[in-house]
Amino acid sequence: MNNNLEDNWHTQELLLNFEASSVRLVVELMCNEFETMWVDDVSISAETFVPCPNDGVFSQDFDKEAVRPLFGYDISALGDLTGSVPYRLPNMPRSTLVASTEISTSNCQLGFSLWWDPKQNTALGTCDECRGLVEVPSGMDRAGEQAYVLARPYNKEAGQTGATFELRFDVISAANKAVDISLDIYLYSLEDTWEDSDNVRVFIVIDGNRDDPYVLFEEFGGDNDFELKDNQWTTLNEVIQFQTSSVQLVVELTSSHELERVYVDNVVITLSDPQPACNGDNYYQNFESIRPSGDLHSYSGTSTLMPISLPNVNDQPTVSAPSSGCLLGFDLLWNSEGAPSLAAAQRGVVREVDLSSQNGDNLFAMAKSRGPDDASLILQFANITTEWQRTQVQLDLYFRSVGSEFWEGGDFVTVSVAYVDGSGVLQTVNLFDRGGVYINQNFNDQWVAVSRTIETYTSSVQLTVEASTSAPGEILYVDGVIIESREIGASD
């Protein structure tokens, strides 16, 4: 025994920051016949947990559950696994907690569960301290706090390959609500064992559709920038403004070594009423209120009218939407020049995370308008009533070239505004008008801000973006559209 503890009274205190239906204090002594320990003044007190109000906030910080002794989680104790894949792994005696209990859900916390997709593997071996609810180990930021950890869903040294873990949180009903999602992750890489086949992905399952996940984060062990993201806490945040019926947060891991880990903490999902950015004298469109699609758009029709108003089609990106308050409606038109169809390409509202800006991740894409003809695509925004003395129009354009395809002669982009002036005369002014060669030399793969102030009274204003490209890899993205009143004397 430590000599400093002998022949003295010592006070020991312990705070259990989780709910329990009962507690028992046990004092254990191992000594010989000449050694004695005295116990006195025992006190146990409790505080009542107050249920959280139904304020649309769902969270999980993993602090309300008790960390269990680390005896490892060995799936072999479950015997033969039968039924559908992936398997939902249960909590087991003498093992870390892998799924939430009633404590989690009764204290305003999101429930969670661990799922294993074994692929062709048949076993999941023991892995101490690397699956389930644990204390953050020493040497890491937040050491001693509680978090959830995932590691080694398969063992490459044993000839296994490709299995995945999924940490799934409760499905949340989100009808007609904006969804704000935040969580912290830590890519643990103590011995630099992460490889190309190792992968961490954080995504949202929207309306139960797991085939089209909304990805917040994805990183492969062999990526060049992996070392810029490992061994530090990173906060992921995403706001989903388009309509959904339900959302579910999932953290997925593929790794083969127990030191290839991802820690998860501070999950918060907040539901709120959508708040359009209206101030009474503005209209805008950033495409965030429209569900994006990763599918390509195509069209085949028999209309001889030009331009053709392209319809929305199930399982294709949205190309048309009505106005709603100050949110500008839009339509995609096609000057077909007699062409019978539009080949598959990016058109409509898409999500491009690598191009995200202050306007969000959603963009409107326009690509492959023509073959040997001179056909063009026209993104036409709603004609709005202004009655303003001075009108500011602005938008952002991104010119992308994919692979060996590039903007060239015959390609062009024109941005124009039609307005009715104080004399009732329809006027048109170009904000941007460039050919493909100039675009390739000056604007390729970069954002370009386009703006114009109409220095006269307008009774109505309509913005149009026209693009003509000959290949699916020649893409124009549109975002950040704003039409607003500018008081005379205000700075441009």
Q: How many residues does the chain have?
A: 492
CB 59 within 8 A of CB 267: yes
- Asked if residues 198 and 254 have their Cβ atoms less than 8 Å apart, the reply is yes
> For residues 392 and 452, what is the distance between their CA atoms, to the nearest angstrom?
6
Q: What is the mean pLDDT of residues 170-194?
A: 88
Of 153, 177, 176, whose CA–CA distance to 165 is shortest? 153
Q: What is the DSSP string of 196-213?
A: TT-EEEEEEEETTEEEEE
Alpha-carbon distance of 141 to 145, in angstroms, equals 9
Instruction: State the Cα–Cα distance between residues 368 and 365, nearest whole angstrom.
Output: 10
Query: At residue 346, does pLDDT exceed 90?
Result: yes
Which one, of 251, 105, 275, lies nearest residue 181 by Cα? 251
Which DSSP symbol is given to 441?
Answer: H
**Residue 181 confidence (pLDDT):** 96
pLDDT, one tens digit per residue, over 111-160 is 999 999 888 776 776 677 788 999 998 888 888 899 999 998 887 766 67
**How does residue 48 score in pLDDT terms, banded at 50, 70 and 90?**
very low
Give the Å distances, CA to CA, from 273 to 8, 129, 177, 242, 403.
Answer: 61, 41, 5, 11, 41
Whether residue 163 contacts residue 119, with contact meaning beta carbons closer than 8 Å, is answered with yes
448: number of Cβ within 10 Å = 15
Mean pLDDT, range 48-75, rounded to an integer: 72
91-129 as b/e: b if 16+ CB within 10 A: bbeebbbbbbeebbeebbbbbbbbbbbbeebeebebbee
Percent of the chain with pLDDT over 90: 52
Please report the pLDDT score of residue 460 as a whole number: 96
pLDDT at 492: 42
CA distance to 55, 231, 474, per residue, from 14 (Å) = 32, 31, 64
- Which has the minimum average pLDDT: 12-16, 68-72, 77-81, 329-333? 12-16
Residue in the block written with tokens 């009903």: 173
Locate 94 and state its tokens: 């003498």
Is 33 in a helix, a strand, or coil?
Answer: coil
Contact 485, 453 (CB under 8 A): no
Please write the tens of the pLDDT for every residue from 78-121.
Answer: 666 656 678 888 888 778 889 998 876 666 689 999 999 888 77
| Residues 132/83, Cβ–Cβ less than 8 Å | no
Non-local (6+) Cβ contacts of 109 within 8 A are 59, 60, 61, 64, 100
Q: Which residue in 204, 191, 257, 265 sits closest to 233, CA to CA?
A: 265
Mean pLDDT of 207-236: 88
The band of 433, judged by pLDDT with boundaries at 50, 70 and 90, is: very high
Between the CA atoms of 89, 217, 258 and 123, what dihedral angle is there, to the nearest 10 degrees? 40
Instruction: Quote the percentage of the chain above a pLDDT of 70.
Output: 85
Query: What's phi and psi for 77, nearest 5 deg?
Result: -70, -15
DSSP 444: B
Read off the pLDDT of residues 359-373 as tens digits, 9 standing for 90 and up. Answer: 888 999 999 998 777
Give the SS3 label for residue 105. Answer: helix
Name every residue whose Cβ is closer than 8 Å to that of residue 27 and which is 6 or more positions away in sequence.
37, 39
User: pTM score, two decimals?
Assistant: 0.78
Return the pLDDT at 358.
77
Q: Which domains does the chain have, with CATH numbers?
A: 57-272 (2.60.120.200), 282-485 (2.60.120.260)
| Per-residue model confidence (pLDDT) at position 306 | 81
Joined together, the tokens standing for residue 397 give: 């354009």
270: phi then psi, degrees, rounded to nearest 5: -120, 130
Whether the CB-CB separation of 425 and 418 falls below 8 Å is answered with no
Looking at every residue in the chain, the average pLDDT score rounds to 85
* Angstrom distance (rounded) from CA 245 to CA 163: 30
Instruction: Kindly state the helix (H) or strand (E) to which residue 102 belongs, with its residue range.
Output: helix 102-106
Tell me how crowded residue 45 is: count the other CB atoms within 10 A of its CB. Answer: 4
DSSP lists the bridge partners of residue 117 as 164
The single residue listed with the structure tokens 């294709």 is 316
